[in-house]
Chains A and B, each alone.
Chain A
């Protein structure tokens, strides 16, 4: 057993402070300590991406990061992207275009897609598929996820145009 560390991080805009063993994986910090249970665990080999969150501007698999590494970081999860009453454009598009079935990959998918569209607001289908390749889905066959992301990109572009 190692010494606990004093950890501070900002999660979905809220400052969190706690003591944790360095080995605690960030996904467990989120789910069990902070009760942010949108990000999921689908594997133990860093493949599935169900645990994807945005950390200091990067899409990361929170199962492959120790809480100690994330000390001082700013983290956004699916819970920070929208609310049931005020969906983020990606959340609305996944709903509209049937981009989910069981919903287990969805928080990671949408969190990753939000970063993808930030970096590439107008991606081709190929760029979407490649840019989402770190996220596995067992239900959808991906087709409707691609459509959802395309629709969200179009929605975000027209919202931006309207604002200008």
Chain B
């Protein structure tokens, strides 16, 4: 419950935040909503001698929806996502997923940038962003770069972000077609036993595009390219869905924990993906 002492900084611009990061290296961490970092600090599992609070940094907020893409500032909260009408219109899967994350209080504070940068495979937004083929803007001392969500996750808590970089925004190509974020969890606020993000395009009777990613079934989110490919060109009959599920199961690598043994998680992953595909198809 009692975090170790730290020096606290509340810079008002990105340059200020970056210079503190650069000065203290590994000893400094940025904090967004604080709802993963503070709990870890209270358990003394995260040691942060220099804490940089991003709440006043200019340019990290804002939801922009344009004709072909969506830009979410890193400090956009889950509750901002849920309550933004134009965003829900453009990409309803974001609201559907955000409502399955944590609880009201946590959603007022927790941010999209923190969720995707945290690196915990339990987080829901990383798989969702892989499904949507989002990219993350990382700003460091040498300038800014874009990293695809599908390339960002290396292992549990290990991402492509360098220590001296700050994730400033998430850019999402405007999604098309039907969608579903389906999550099996033990209770409100729990990380998924298994979750699936699905986005499908229907052309006549058949599926012309499909994107699938899974949450908390490996030490990273799992983008299932082969599972999506198994649906394309089909009418989404039972055989096609079975093929997609089989392809997905080849890509995940769940581990046993309080949510269940591997065989159970594998079973749940299949059930959840089937439900997500069927719901996305009904909306396509």
Interface on A for B, CB 8 Å cutoff?
Answer: 1-3, 5, 21-23, 25, 41, 44-47, 49, 52, 58-61, 63-66, 68-69, 71, 112, 116, 131-134
**B5 contacts the other chain (Cβ, under 8 Å)?**
yes
Knowing A1-B5, A133-B189 touch, does A64 contact B51 (C-beta < 8 A)? no
Check A60 against B108 for contact (C-beta < 8 Å): yes
A interface footprint on B250-283 (CB within 8 Å = 1, 0 otherwise) = 0000000000000000000000000000000000
Check B53 against A69 for contact (C-beta < 8 Å): yes
Knowing A47-B189, A59-B104 touch, does A3 contact B7 (C-beta < 8 A)? yes
Knowing A22-B51, A45-B39, A58-B109 touch, does A65 contact B189 (C-beta < 8 A)? no
List, in ascending order, chain B residues with CB within 8 A of A44's CB: 1, 39, 42-43
Task: List 5 additional contacts besides A23-B3, A66-B38; criterion CB under 8 Å.
Answer: A46-B38, A65-B38, A66-B51, A69-B31, A132-B104
**B10 contacts the other chain (Cβ, under 8 Å)?**
yes
Check A46 against B106 for contact (C-beta < 8 Å): yes
**Minimal beta-carbon separation of B220 from chain A (angstroms):** 23
Check B8 against A22 for contact (C-beta < 8 Å): yes
Knowing A59-B105, A66-B34, A134-B189 touch, does A46 contact B39 (C-beta < 8 A)? yes
Check A133 against B108 for contact (C-beta < 8 Å): no
Chain B residue total in the interface (Cβ 8 A): 28
Check B5 against A23 for contact (C-beta < 8 Å): yes
Task: Sort A-B residue pairs by CB-CB distance and give the 10 closest, nearest first.
Answer: A134-B103, A22-B8, A58-B108, A133-B188, A44-B1, A134-B105, A68-B8, A2-B5, A61-B105, A133-B103
Out of B7, B104, B188, name the residue touching A2 (CB < 8 Å).
B7
**Minimal beta-carbon separation of A123 from chain B (angstroms):** 12
Closest partner residue, chain A, to B7 (CB atom): A2
Check B5 against A59 for contact (C-beta < 8 Å): no
Check B39 against A64 for contact (C-beta < 8 Å): yes
List, in ascending order, chain B residues with CB within 8 A of A66's CB: 3, 8, 34, 38, 51
Check B6 against A22 for contact (C-beta < 8 Å): yes
A interface footprint on B101-115 (CB within 8 Å = 1, 0 otherwise) = 011111011000000
Contacting residues of chain B (56-109) with chain A, CB-CB under 8 angstroms: 79, 102-106, 108-109
**B242 contacts the other chain (Cβ, under 8 Å)?**
no
| A131-B79 Cα distance, complex, nearest whole Å | 12
A-B contact pairs, 27 of them (CB 8 A): A2-B8, A22-B8, A23-B3, A23-B6, A25-B3, A25-B42, A44-B43, A45-B39, A46-B35, A46-B38, A46-B39, A46-B106, A49-B103, A52-B105, A59-B105, A60-B109, A64-B106, A66-B3, A66-B8, A66-B34, A69-B31, A69-B34, A69-B53, A69-B55, A112-B105, A133-B104, A133-B189
Check B4 against A68 for contact (C-beta < 8 Å): no
